[in-house]
Structure 1
Amino acid sequence: MALILVTGASSGLGRHTADALADDGHDVVVHVRDPARLTDADGTARWKGIVTGDLAEPDEIRDVARQACEYGRFDTVIHNAGVLHSPEEITVNTVAPYLLTALMDKPARLIYLSSSMHRTGSTDLRRLASGTATYDDTKLWVTALALACAFRWEGTTSHAVDPGWVPTRMGGPGASDDLAAGHRTQVWLATHHDATPPTGGYWYHRQTQTPHPASRDEAFQARLLHLLESHTGVPLG
C-alpha cells in the first residue's frame, strides 16, 4: 500500500487517477482548489485526506505543500493539476509543480502531466518571467522539470506523462483520445516497479515516446531550474 498525492483531483483525469488508486487499496491524498466542489456523495471517504489551495497563487502553493507534509513522506506525488487558455497557465502548469517538488519531502516517485503540445513549446525562457508563455511552453517546461528530476536524488524516480487529448472539462467534448486510458499510465507508474526506463521516461499510454529535444538537454534544464529558483526564491535542492 502506497501513500500518494494527486494534485488537481476534484474532477477529470486527476479524479479518475485518485479514485483508481484508492480502489486499488492505496492511501490517496487529493488536492483540490475548491473543497465546495466535493460532497459526501462523491465517495470522498475512500481517500485518506484532502489538501486545499489555489495553485495559481504562490502563497497558497506553499500552503498546499505544508498541508501535504503533515501526512509524512509520500511514496508518489502526481502533479496532475493544469489549466488551458488562462493567464494562470505559467503558475499552475510550471511554477506550482516546481514549488511543490522543492518544498516537499522527496517521494520515491514523481509523475508530471505533460501534453503532446509540449513539442511546439518555446525554449525562450524570457516568456516565463514576462508572463507571455503559451500552454505549449508551460508543458515543455514541466516536461523538462520532470526529466531534470529523474536522476537528481537517490531514491527518487521521475517521469513525464502525456495522457492524450481526452474529453475532460479542459479537453472538451471533441477530444479524440480514450478517457479511460487517460489515467492508466499514471496509476501504473505510481505503483509498479517494472517501468523501462525506471526513471526519466516520457510516456503515452504506457509506451515511451521521444519528447521535445530541449526537455532532455541538460543545459536547458539548468537554465530553467535557475530561472524558476530566481522566480520563486526557492531552490530545488
Structure 2
Amino acid sequence: MSRIFITGSSQGIGAECARQLLDLGHEVILHARDDDRASAALAANPGATAVLTGDLASIEQTTALAAAANEQGPYDAIIHNAGLGGDAPERVTTADGIERIYQVNVVAPYLLTALMPVAKRMIYLTSGLEANGHWHPYDLQGSTREWNGMQAYSDSKLQLSMLAIEIAALNPDSAVNVVDPGWIRTRMGGAEAWDPVELGAETQVWLADSDEPDATTTGRYLKRREQLEPNPTVRDAEARDALVYELIKVTGVVLP
C-alpha cells in the first residue's frame, strides 16, 4: 500500500485517478481548489484519507497547500494533475501579478515540487498540445504578444513538460515522468473528446502503482504507457535551466 497525493482531484481525470488507486488499496490524499470542491471530492471518493484545499492561482495558498500536504506525508507518489484550460478569451493576471494559466499550470507545480520532498514516483500531467508550445524565454507569460488562450495553454504544457524532465535529471533516485492523457471527455476536454475518463487516468495509475520495470523508469514523456518524443525544447537542458531560473524569480523559492 502506498500513500499518494493528487492535485486537482475533485473531478475529471484527477478524481478518476483517485478512484482507481483507492480500488487498488492505496491511501490517497485529495486536493481541491476550495471547500465546495473539497466536499465534491470526498463525495466522489469517500475512501480518501483526506482532502486538502488551496487555490493554485495564489502563491500564498499554494505555499499553504504544500505545508498541509507535508503534514499528511511522506508520499510514495505525487501526481501533479491540476491544470487550467485555454478557453480564456483575454489575458488575466492573478493577485500575484502572474498570468493565470502560467501560474496554475507551471508556477504552482514548481512551487509544490520545491516545497515538498520529492517522492519516489513523480507524475506530471501535460497535454499533446505541448507539441504546439512555443519557447519564449524572455516572455513566458505572454505579456508582449497578442493573446491566444490555446497558445498560452500549449506553452504552459510545454513548460510543465520541461519542468518534469528537469526534476527527473535532478533526482535520479526517483521515477519522474510526464504524461499526455489524450483528449478525454471531462469538463475541460468537452463532450466531443474521443476517450473516456478511465483511459485518461490509466497511465498515471500504472506509474503510481506498478512495480514493472517500465513503470519505474524515469525521465520519459508517456501516452498510453508508451514513450513518445516530446517537443524538442523539453530535451534542451539550457532551456530547462532558464525556465527554472525564471520560476525562482517569480516565486522566490529555489529547488532543493
What range is the shorter-chain TM-score in?
over 0.9
Would you say how many aligned residue pairs link Structure 1 and Structure 2? 237
Q: Which residue of 2 aligns with 1:109?
A: 121
Distance in 2, matches of 1:41 and 1:155, equals 33
Distance 1:153 1:43, change over 3 A: same
Unaligned stretches of 5+ in structure 1? none
In the alignment, does 2:175 pair up with 1:157? yes
Task: Specify which of 99, 102, 114 is matched with residue 90 of structure 1.
Answer: 102
Q: Which residue of 2 aligns with 1:57?
A: 58
In the alignment, does 2:12 pair up with 1:12? yes
Alpha-carbon contact 2:3-2:76 (below 8 Å) kept: yes
Distance in 1, matches of 2:142 and 2:192, equals 32
Deviation at residue 61 of structure 1 after TM alignment: 0.4
Deviations 1:142-168 (A, max 9, x none): 001111111312432210000001110
Distance 1:129 1:172, change over 3 A: closer
Distance in 2, matches of 1:128 and 1:41, equals 36
Deviation at residue 35 of structure 1 after TM alignment: 2.5
State the percentage of identical aligned residues: 38
Alpha-carbon contact 1:4-1:77 (below 8 Å) kept: yes
Q: Which residue of 1 aligns with 2:79?
A: 78
Deviation at residue 127 of structure 1 after TM alignment: 2.7
Distance in 2, matches of 1:80 and 1:144, equals 15
Deviation at residue 207 of structure 1 after TM alignment: 0.8
Deviations 1:2-59 (A, max 9, x none): 0100000000000000111111110100010123132598254300111101001110
Distance in 2, matches of 1:30 and 1:20, equals 13
Alpha-carbon contact 1:78-1:186 (below 8 Å) kept: yes
Q: TM-score, normalised by structure 1?
A: 0.94
Distance 1:220 1:41, change over 3 A: closer
In the alignment, does 2:237 pair up with 1:205? no
Tell me which amino acid in the other structure corresponds to 1:173: A
Q: TM-score, normalised by structure 2?
A: 0.88
Tell me which amino acid in the other structure corresponds to 1:206: R
Task: Specify which of 227, 231, 240 is matched with residue 221 of structure 1.
Answer: 240
Distance in 2, matches of 1:138 and 1:40, equals 26
RMSD: 1.7
Alpha-carbon contact 1:95-1:228 (below 8 Å) kept: yes
Deviation at residue 201 of structure 1 after TM alignment: 0.9
Structure 1 stretch displaced more, 157-166 or 42-51: 42-51
Deviation at residue 177 of structure 1 after TM alignment: 2.5
Which SS does the other structure have where 2:140 is aligned?
helix
Distance in 1, matches of 2:44 and 2:238, equals 45
Which SS does the other structure have where 2:177 is aligned?
strand
